[in-house]
Structure 1
Amino acid sequence: MIHALSPHRLYRRCDPQALSFTSTAELEPLTTPLGQARALEAMEFGVEINREGFNLFVLGTPGLGKLQLVKQILAKQGQSRTPLHDWCYVYNFDDPQRPRLLQLPVSMGQTLCSDMKQLVEDLLTAIPAAFQSDEYQRRREEITAKFQQHLEETLHDLGEEARQNRIAMMRTPTGYTLAPMVDDKVISAEEFEQLPKDEQKKIEGNIEAIQKKLQANIRAAPLARRDMSRAVKKLNQEITQFTVEQFIAGMEQQYQDQTNVMEYLSAVKKDAIENAEEFLPNGEPDELEDVDSAEGRALGFHRYRVNVIVDNTGKDRAPVIFEDNPSYQNLVGRIEHVSHMGTLVTDFTLIKAGALHRANGGYLILDASKTLTHMYAWEGLKRSLQSHQVNISSLEEVLSLVSSLSLEPEPMPVDVKVILTGEPMLYYLLKRYDNEFDQLFKVAADFAHRTDRSDENSLLYARLIAALQQRKQLRPLNRDAVARVIEAASRHADDSNKLSLHVDYIDDLLNEADYRASKADCEQITLEHIEQTLEKRNFRLDRMREAYHEQIIRGISMIETTGKVEAQVNGLTVMAVADQAFGSPSRITATARLGHGRVMDIEREVKLGGEIHSKGVMILSAYMANRFAQDKPLPLSATLVFEQSYGGVEGDSATAAELCTLLSAIAHIPLKQSLAVTGSMNQHGQIQAIGGVNEKIEGFYDICEARGLTGDQGVIIPASNQVHLMLRKDIREAVAAERFHIYTADHVDDVMSALADLPMGEANEQGDYPADSVNGKILARIDELQSLHARYRKSGAGERDNDGAKADD
């Protein structure tokens, strides 16, 4: 039989007098996570172990304070996993497309960056000054004078040779011309024609010979000029080398312990010497450059810059990086581009570090869901963990969206502990479907979402409330308010013997209560402020529930709460939308007729029923066959449906109600509509616990209360759900006044008997039930259907039942 619950069993109260304080201001804030000993131990192990693949996945439902606890534990980690360094990208003089990576001691990165900037500015001033020196000018003039002297001597000798052969070599604006002479005077063409033919031929031969020599000299002039230029360039390099070495010598002494920096400075020195003219104004050693002009021109020497991508200056602890937007480029870094004359160009100074670079030697915290939803971010993260290095490449290159030439920076070695946070289902899916996941994330910290509600934990919960209150600098709570928050935590946990560990829920509750205390100009948060907060929060989210219940109260959605009706039961459902959940009654009806033992679930047939709901219908079918058709066929066909349900039905919490509806339809037994039923069942008829019991009871109560309580209305729930009850105050008061009732049941027979207001009946030795019992009426109806079935089979009719199922032979 069903058992009525007394009011004190509908709610577990927290006695404020049991709390040994008057205000949270007296409490020491809780510094360790309540109820998370398992997760805490796993996190400490995962953080401290320094072995490959022992990265950490922190799993738990949202709002448990996972991220806060991770940061709290990491804040205690003093020494970094590996020694910290600064990391810089510099120009690769051998292969500009592959920038070099420099690893430097902490704070040396910015120092090198400043030193290189100063070096360029110094060279832009010193090199032009060196070229203005008297020594340089003298040596340069010697080179140019030597060239000029050689050229003039060559031409002079050729001119003397020509004169001796009675030929004049004259300079013209376009070069040189040759003309015959007589008596050391140039003659005209007419005078030349008057000379004897033999003499003309001789002069022409001489002119031709001199012409060839002149052309040879003219052709040799560029080569001589080239030699002169080489000599000048060599001189420039010597002067530049002397100047550069003067400035770089100090840097080499400063960085003598850094092999990679020494190699880089050597390459810088070589490049500066080879390109000395770039340090001169207009590329020529004509005039001295002032300091301001040098600083301006220094901005153009990109290749001598140092791009510090990781600067650990002033850091003596392991870096802890939380990347809230874990895109591919935010994780592995990116190469930016700038527009130049309509074309996107880049260089090593536009390389930007990613979270993996910044977390090197420390810890990187990521949201697993966000990481997986960003294109290629998950693959990029795994690749870096597997290879122990970060290879910067643009997402466009990965997707082959661009074909332009880009940079290939030298990969950076990394040693980083990655901590992922996410929901349990995501963790299990990754373990199941990602073959590399187990090798990379070998430690799981599983956060509990609730803890036992013991006296000790209640005091610890009060300290947790004090910690939240003091952290947010809220008003202290008196103990009545704390007791009410503890009760609200039990309701949020859906269990009177548990406390919710969703810190965000309590945090939001305290913030709003503090607001209401401030509006009331109170120095403390009191019970009244907590009650107002809970009431207002429900009110803000109550529009959908009110609209749904209004449809029932107006008779649009048909629910009866009085009287008796055959083949009809009030089941209870929970509507859940985002963070709002409310209960509501739903009419379940059934039909039964002559057939061949098939129970049709209409919800399933039209694909509105879920798998678990279909399982429940199959269980009740098995229960009926086991009770009423162990040694004979069950000659009926039946249908079950949730009336006016258009959004799908899932879950097995209505199985007991569906069975009672079906039994009523078979035996034509009217059932009470003043009682609503919730509970799943097994094949033996035992009633099993369901979820959302508080919301379901409150949903049916609200409908009954709106129509007027009659005193015989109530809800039947599984006995095992009694510990989950944390019902509203108005329902407890109605139960105390016997205007509403909460019953528990252990077996479906108890439920059916209560709804039918008839005994189920006990079978005698022959297996017969009393005629006025529920079982007796059902068996009597089955016997009638068997007789009809036999008569139709004898006549050859009815080979198919009314729902189209083929008859079994």
Structure 2
Amino acid sequence: MNLPEFEVPVSELRWSLDPAAFPFSTTRELDPLDEVIGQNRAVRAVEFGLGIEDQGFNIFVCGAPGTGRSSIVRTMIRKIAAGRPTPPDWCYVHNFKAADQPKALSLPPGKAREFAREIEKLIGDLKDEIPKVFQSKDYETQRNKIEEDFGRLRDALTADLERKAHLFGFQINSTRLGIFAVPLHKGKPIQPEEFQKLDEATKRDIQTKEKELSEDIRTLVGQVRRLREEANARVQQLDESVVRYATEHRIEALAGKYPDLPKVVEHVHEIHADVLENYKDFLPQEESPIQIPGIEAIEPKRFDVKYRVNVLVDHSESKGAPLVEETNPTYNNLIGRIEKKSRLGALYTDFTMIRAGSLLNAGGGFLVVNALDILRSPFSWDALKRIIKKNEVKIEDIGELYGFIATGGIKPEPIPVHVRVILTGSPLLYYLLRLYDEDFAKAFKVKADFDTQTRLTTENAVAYGRFIARLTGQEGALPFDREAVAELVSNEVREAENRGKVSLRFSEIADIIREASHWAHAEGRAVVAKPDVRKTIDERRYRSNLIEEKIQELYEEGTLLVTVEGTAVGQVNGLSVFDLGDYAFGRPTRITARTHLGRAGVVNIEREVRMSGRTHSKGVMILTGYLGGRYAQEKPLSLTGTLAFEQTYGEVHGDSASAAELYALLSAITEIPLRQDLAVTGSINQHGEVQPIGGVNEKVEGFYEVCKAQGLTGTQGVVIPRRNIRHLMLKDEVVDAVAAGSFHIYAIDHVEQGLEILTGRKAGEREPDGRFPEGTINRTVVDRLTAMAEKQKEKPAEKAAEGPEKGNNGEKPPSPPSPPTPEK
């Protein structure tokens, strides 16, 4: 067995960027980065989505948080928006024909606020001017003339009646109850007793004349009423003429400012008509509301509210198309709302209480919303899709819209809106929406996929330096020297887990830059150096690795059982990764296997107790397939083998331990001991090929820490898939240990290579007769399986004793398929 053949050279354990490759000494010499690094696909998609104006080409920006997706999209939108025309302003005004349906007016950008001020000034001027014209001498003269004409005509009619009454021997008396003709006797009103003493002929004469005069009085009253009505009409015409005289030139002057806006001109004329009709509202009011003790004062309703202008969207300060980012996309924040006020326990509202939402503010421009936020907010998602489809915003009370409450509220006129919506979210959320929301694909036709890594080139490495130059210049942080930049790039290569790639998680990178600047400043340096970047990375790890330290203590105390010396049968050290979100680390786990006579095949204990994830269960079934294909071509597998991850109390995910599980199982079958000073990671396929796995750096470093704590012997190491060599970016301490011969990294392509490393024996290849050479591991496996099959034949009753077979090599029948869920 030639171990050096499989050992990974020290030069392959970590990639480091040579600072001499940089054409600068410090980032102060570089131009700040003004382009996007490594996101060509996403940038092209965003440019397309922002450029096309057809309906439905809204953008869903996919990508992991921290890749700079939001800041990149914002920057691109601002550049495009600056060259777009500024959209119009919008306002609501009173509808004089239907008060519960406010009208929407569109004005050129910046004109809505100006229009509101002009209307306010107009009404203010009318409040001053209208009372003045009614107090003018000219008005008073004309009003008096009308009253004098009325009085003269009324007096003439009254005089005629009085003359006739005098001839008839009557006098006319006017009281509160009306006008009466009273008969006279000897120049005085006749008394009832005197009237009774008169002869019958005189009585009949008086009664006849009284009846005639009563008819004349009724005629007089009708004539006076008509004269009064004519006088009032003349007064009304006079009032309207003076009000028109006082207002018309102002109205026409205001309307003349908006010759190209017919709806605005129409509204101004409607205001004029209402003022002419209700001019008395502008006159001083003598009555005041009665104050009832113990009840809050009632503010009198202002008559001029209906003349106000409620500016919803104001672009007076805008240049180009708007960019709105809605961070709290509730229904009201997104669509708008109708506010209400309380008066004596009753709610009321009017058009001045209508407020615009983000969609109206972003009209003619761009709206950026987090997809998860809008989906969490009730009613917002459906409202957004409805507006995208209809291209109009209808502001409604959400309680009335969904029938929660029934009130006689207002119904504002819908406002047309054309806005490009940009949603940001995870790829998982994008695919779920595509799968379960039939409207999503029609509303968001452009997908912009932001990558988490890009190719490592000299150009991209220099771009990192320019990014540092931009950030430090914007925030006043210290510049980086070339060694510090190289160290930062090397760290991001490790984060990408691929030597040919570099991470694009610019949010985290920016924090590292800020922290490194802090540590350099604390050391009194004017430029960030390599040790400052190293310290930043170490400090960030230290702030997050409390759990790692606690688990390490369990290994050191012997609570977690792991053997790093000697050999053992049916036992191997597997490797797993603990991902805490902000920090990940690896640790060894003891994997054990036991075999005995039976027909259950390989039993995954974790699956039996429902602690096995799908990918882990798949890995166990794959190694079962490998066993059958390699060793059971002539006879069936007549054994029951159990596999377990010892001292694990949560679900086991992933198939990266399938190689280690196979080694433990083969050792249990053959009773050939395995080296315990080595740990194994790698998944296998049914042909025995070892496949790459994730977290290789964390796994190697985790086993190294355990070995170091128990004492390095010089033989300890880790067996990894050869295809993972390009992913190695180990810590300097581990690299130094390997260079000193204290620790070893072995890389394999096939499981049998790992089997030879762990046992020190040849695996063996089939000879022409189909048999494996004597003394090889594979020969021992076949011999033991054959012997177990023979013993199985000798116990025909065992099958009945064990009960019905489960099928699937001892596994429970698979459950019905469920919708696919992405694996980590």
TM > 0.5: yes
Letter in 1 for 2:102: P
DSSP-derived class of the 1:799 partner: helix
Give how far 1:59 is off. Answer: 1.9
Gaps of 5+ in 1: 285-295
Question: Is structure 2 residue 578 aligned with structure 1 residue 575?
Answer: yes
Give how far 1:144 is off. Answer: 3.5
Q: Tell me: CA distance 1:111–1:806, structure 2 relative to 1, closer, same or farther (3 Å).
A: closer
Letter in 2 for 1:317: G
Question: Is structure 2 residue 513 aligned with structure 1 residue 510?
Answer: yes
Matches within 5 A, 1:289-308: 301-308=304-311
Cα contact 1:575–1:583 (8 A) shared by 2: yes
Give how far 1:310 is off. Answer: 2.1
Letter in 2 for 1:799: A
Give how far 1:604 is off. Answer: 2.0
Identify which of 272, 275, 300 aligns with 1:272.
Answer: 275
DSSP-derived class of the 1:317 partner: coil
What percentage of residue pairs aligned between the two structures are identical? 38
Q: Once structures 1 and 2 are overlaid, which stretch shifts more, 115-124 or 597-606?
A: 597-606
d(CA) in 2 for partners of 1:683, 1:572: 21
Match of 2:32 in 1: 29
Q: Once structures 1 and 2 are overlaid, which stretch shifts more, 251-260 or 173-182?
A: 173-182
Give how far 1:580 is off. Answer: 1.6
Cα contact 2:86–2:320 (8 A) shared by 1: no
d(CA) in 2 for partners of 1:498, 1:806: 45
Q: Tell me: CA distance 1:647–1:803, structure 2 relative to 1, closer, same or farther (3 Å).
A: farther
d(CA) in 2 for partners of 1:603, 1:214: 115
Q: Once structures 1 and 2 are overlaid, which stretch shifts more, 266-275 or 329-338?
A: 329-338
Give how far 1:265 is off. Answer: 1.1
Identify which of 119, 123, 127 aligns with 1:120.
Answer: 123
Give how far 1:237 is off. Answer: 1.9
Q: Tell me: CA distance 1:805–1:86, structure 2 relative to 1, closer, same or farther (3 Å).
A: closer
d(CA) in 1 for partners of 2:793, 2:216: 136
Cα contact 1:485–1:530 (8 A) shared by 2: yes
Deviations 1:96-130 (A, max 9, x none): 22222222223322221121111011111111111
Deviations 1:203-240 (A, max 9, x none): 45655665676578668877765665444333322221
Match of 1:776 in 2: 779
Match of 2:625 in 1: 622
Question: Is structure 2 residue 60 aligned with structure 1 residue 61?
Answer: no
d(CA) in 1 for partners of 2:149, 2:660: 116
Letter in 2 for 1:525: V
d(CA) in 1 for partners of 2:746, 2:330: 54
Matches within 5 A, 1:464-483: 464-483=467-486
Q: Once structures 1 and 2 are overlaid, which stretch shifts more, 799-808 or 141-150?
A: 799-808
Cα contact 1:80–1:319 (8 A) shared by 2: no
Q: Tell me: CA distance 1:387–1:805, structure 2 relative to 1, closer, same or farther (3 Å).
A: closer
Question: Is structure 2 residue 800 aligned with structure 1 residue 799?
Answer: yes
Q: Tell me: CA distance 1:140–1:774, structure 2 relative to 1, closer, same or farther (3 Å).
A: same
d(CA) in 1 for partners of 2:656, 2:66: 27
d(CA) in 1 for partners of 2:561, 2:236: 101
Match of 2:752 in 1: 749
Letter in 1 for 2:658: T
Match of 1:407 in 2: 410
Give how far 1:668 is off. Answer: 2.7
Matched pairs, number: 795
Cα contact 2:81–2:365 (8 A) shared by 1: no
Question: Is structure 2 residue 671 aligned with structure 1 residue 652?
Answer: no
DSSP-derived class of the 1:640 partner: strand
Cα contact 2:400–2:407 (8 A) shared by 1: no
Match of 2:250 in 1: 247
Match of 1:383 in 2: 386
Match of 1:454 in 2: 457
Match of 1:425 in 2: 428
DSSP-derived class of the 1:451 partner: strand
Give how far 1:512 is off. Answer: 0.5
Give how far 1:453 is off. Answer: 1.9
Deviations 1:716-759 (A, max 9, x none): 11111111111111111111122221111111112223223332
Q: Tell me: CA distance 1:267–1:766, structure 2 relative to 1, closer, same or farther (3 Å).
A: same
Cα contact 1:800–1:806 (8 A) shared by 2: no
Give how far 1:277 is off. Answer: 0.5
DSSP-derived class of the 1:89 partner: strand
d(CA) in 1 for partners of 2:576, 2:798: 42
Match of 1:708 in 2: 711
Match of 1:723 in 2: 726
Q: Tell me: CA distance 1:167–1:563, structure 2 relative to 1, closer, same or farther (3 Å).
A: farther
Letter in 1 for 2:146: I
Give how far 1:322 is off. Answer: 2.2
Q: Tell me: CA distance 1:178–1:18, structure 2 relative to 1, closer, same or farther (3 Å).
A: same
d(CA) in 1 for partners of 2:144, 2:808: 120
Cα contact 2:86–2:109 (8 A) shared by 1: no
Q: Tell me: CA distance 1:807–1:9, structure 2 relative to 1, closer, same or farther (3 Å).
A: closer
Cα contact 2:600–2:806 (8 A) shared by 1: no
Q: Tell me: CA distance 1:327–1:197, structure 2 relative to 1, closer, same or farther (3 Å).
A: same
Q: Tell me: CA distance 1:18–1:254, structure 2 relative to 1, closer, same or farther (3 Å).
A: closer
Cα contact 1:124–1:298 (8 A) shared by 2: no
Q: Tell me: CA distance 1:587–1:156, structure 2 relative to 1, closer, same or farther (3 Å).
A: farther
Letter in 2 for 1:607: R
Q: Once structures 1 and 2 are overlaid, which stretch shifts more, 736-745 or 723-732?
A: 736-745
d(CA) in 1 for partners of 2:332, 2:202: 89
Taking structure 2 as the reference length, the TM-score comes to 0.90
Match of 1:183 in 2: 186
Give how far 1:351 is off. Answer: 2.0
d(CA) in 1 for partners of 2:540, 2:216: 108
d(CA) in 2 for partners of 1:741, 1:547: 26
Deviations 1:749-793 (A, max 9, x none): 122232233322233333333453322222222122212211111
Question: Is structure 2 residue 491 aligned with structure 1 residue 488?
Answer: yes
Match of 2:340 in 1: 337
d(CA) in 2 for partners of 1:745, 1:666: 23
Identify which of 9, 12, 16 aligns with 1:13.
Answer: 16
Cα contact 2:84–2:321 (8 A) shared by 1: yes
Match of 2:140 in 1: 137
Q: Once structures 1 and 2 are overlaid, which stretch shifts more, 499-508 or 624-633?
A: 624-633
Question: Is structure 2 residue 245 aligned with structure 1 residue 261?
Answer: no
Letter in 2 for 1:267: E
Letter in 2 for 1:598: G
Match of 1:289 in 2: none
Give how far 1:534 is off. Answer: 0.7
Question: Is structure 2 residue 196 aligned with structure 1 residue 193?
Answer: yes
Q: CA RMSD in A?
A: 2.8
DSSP-derived class of the 1:254 partner: coil
Give how far 1:366 is off. Answer: 2.2
Cα contact 2:337–2:396 (8 A) shared by 1: yes
Q: Tell me: CA distance 1:113–1:72, structure 2 relative to 1, closer, same or farther (3 Å).
A: same
d(CA) in 1 for partners of 2:206, 2:787: 150
Q: Once structures 1 and 2 are overlaid, which stretch shifts more, 326-335 or 624-633?
A: 326-335
Cα contact 1:321–1:355 (8 A) shared by 2: yes
DSSP-derived class of the 2:422 partner: strand
Match of 1:600 in 2: 603
Give how far 1:486 is off. Answer: 0.9
d(CA) in 2 for partners of 1:671, 1:771: 20
Q: Once structures 1 and 2 are overlaid, which stretch shifts more, 57-66 or 546-555?
A: 546-555
Give how far 1:349 is off. Answer: 1.9
Match of 1:538 in 2: 541
Q: Once structures 1 and 2 are overlaid, which stretch shifts more, 438-447 or 488-497?
A: 438-447
Cα contact 1:622–1:683 (8 A) shared by 2: yes
Letter in 2 for 1:363: F
Identify which of 72, 95, 99 aligns with 2:98.
Answer: 95
Letter in 1 for 2:500: N
Deviations 1:402-436 (A, max 9, x none): 21122222222223222222222222222333323
d(CA) in 2 for partners of 1:535, 1:338: 58
Q: Once structures 1 and 2 are overlaid, which stretch shifts more, 560-569 or 110-119?
A: 560-569
Give how far 1:193 is off. Answer: 3.1
Give how far 1:370 is off. Answer: 2.0
Give how far 1:150 is off. Answer: 5.2
Q: Once structures 1 and 2 are overlaid, which stretch shifts more, 270-279 or 211-220?
A: 211-220
Deviations 1:357-410 (A, max 9, x none): 222222222222222222222222222222222222233333322211222222
Letter in 2 for 1:341: L
Q: Tell me: CA distance 1:590–1:229, structure 2 relative to 1, closer, same or farther (3 Å).
A: farther
